[in-house]
Chains A and B, each alone.
Chain A
Amino acid sequence: MRFSIYRYNPEADDKPRMQAYDVALEPTDRMLLDALVRIKAHDDTLSFRRSCREGVCGSDAMNINGKNGLACITRIADLREPVQIRPLPGLPVVRDLIVDMSQFFKQYDSVKPYLVNNDPPPEKERLQSPQDREELDGLYECILCACCSTSCPSFWWNPDKFVGPAGLLQAYRFIADTRDQATNERLDNLEDPYRLFRCHSIMNCVDVCPKGLNPTRAIGKIKDLLVKRTV
């Protein structure tokens, strides 16, 4: 099977290049990550991140044949040859398929992604009805792989100012939590032409999310709340 993989080692290369690999795969190699691990066994200079190999840790996000996804849950059989593999677009490349994600995490941090509740905690759990808990479905499952934000043109152009789909999804995860008391502060934090309103609802994020989440819908709900607050 043929692969064409983005290579860049800042110590040795002036500029990035695409390297061709021809690999004989075993029948047990079912996902793209299996193939990458096999390639690495022959060429140990190829660098990429990986951990859980089952799509829950979010390490091995990359651009596969032009679309962002997780290598560990991308079936080799579904890929067109030669498989073009590049790092996530829009973030600085550290080496090969490894990108510097600090800008992405900075935006995540900026939405204060933690529960704020200033009441003294009860002795047992805070109660929450199953219906209220259901509001968090489709939000809390985010694995911070950055597939969505790095497929969003608004994030490419303004990664420093636009929170991006992943961060906004998490912002709404806490707005939607009945136990959280900081909705107003959270809305204040987002009411900005850049932080929230760079989203033009083109839904690239929905298209690529490996967990099937819908950041655009969450962003829409934040906008609805802002309208409700103003009107």
Chain B
Amino acid sequence: MVKREVVGAHYGLRDWLAQRITAVVMVVYTAVILSVVAGLPRMDYWQWKVLWQTPVVRYATVLVILCLLFHTWIGVRNIFMDYIKDPALRLALYVLTIGALVWYGVWSFRILWSA
């Protein structure tokens, strides 16, 4: 086979930007949640449960979990792109990573809705 460098995928910006935007979302969410928790008069299991049953918090958390998963995906894929040279192995690792992330996502939503 011809050994040729193929470059110019014309993506990368979207991912780079997404990684930054998701990071901002996560930082804002973390700050808000922490301040809400700190502002509570007392902290017990019922309070905690009520907090996560509040629709705003619940949907914000869904958003943040999606952000986290996407952020992780970009970051982990970056590491694979840096170090894993074999395309087949890299593709396999991608699939494994996506599988794991989807699993984490489903798991997180189940926890959230069981609250």
Contact = CB atoms under 8 A, between A and B. Distances in A.
Nearest to A106: B5
Nearest to B83: A157
B7 A194 contact: yes
Contacts of B83: 157
B11 to A, nearest CB: 6
A161 B7 contact: yes
B16 interface: yes
Given A191-B13, A197-B15, A197-B16, A154 B8 contact: no
Contacts, number: 51
Interface string A185-210: 00011011111111010000000000
Contact of B81 (A160, A194, A196): A194
Given A158-B82, A198-B82, A200-B78, A192 B7 contact: yes
A181 B15 CA distance: 28
B12 A197 contact: yes
A144 interface: no
A124 to B, nearest CB: 38
A227 interface: yes
Contacts of B8: 188-189, 191-192, 195
A189 B17 CA distance: 18
B12 A196 contact: yes
Say which size band chain B's interface belongs to: 10 to 19
A193 B81 contact: yes
Which of A153, A161, A193, A196 neighbours the largest number of chain B CB atoms within 10 Å of its CB? A193
B9 interface: yes
Given A158-B82, A198-B82, A191 B12 contact: yes
Contacts of A153: 82
B93 to A, nearest CB: 15
B10 interface: yes
Interface in B1-47: 5, 7-17
Contacts of B82: 153-154, 157-158, 198
A77 to B, nearest CB: 38
A223 interface: yes
B17 A227 contact: yes
Nearest to A229: B13
27 contacts: A153-B82, A154-B82, A157-B82, A157-B83, A158-B81, A158-B82, A161-B5, A188-B10, A189-B8, A191-B12, A191-B13, A192-B8, A193-B9, A193-B11, A193-B81, A194-B9, A194-B12, A194-B81, A195-B7, A196-B12, A197-B12, A198-B81, A223-B13, A223-B16, A230-B13, A230-B17, A231-B17
Interface of B: 5, 7-17, 78, 81-83
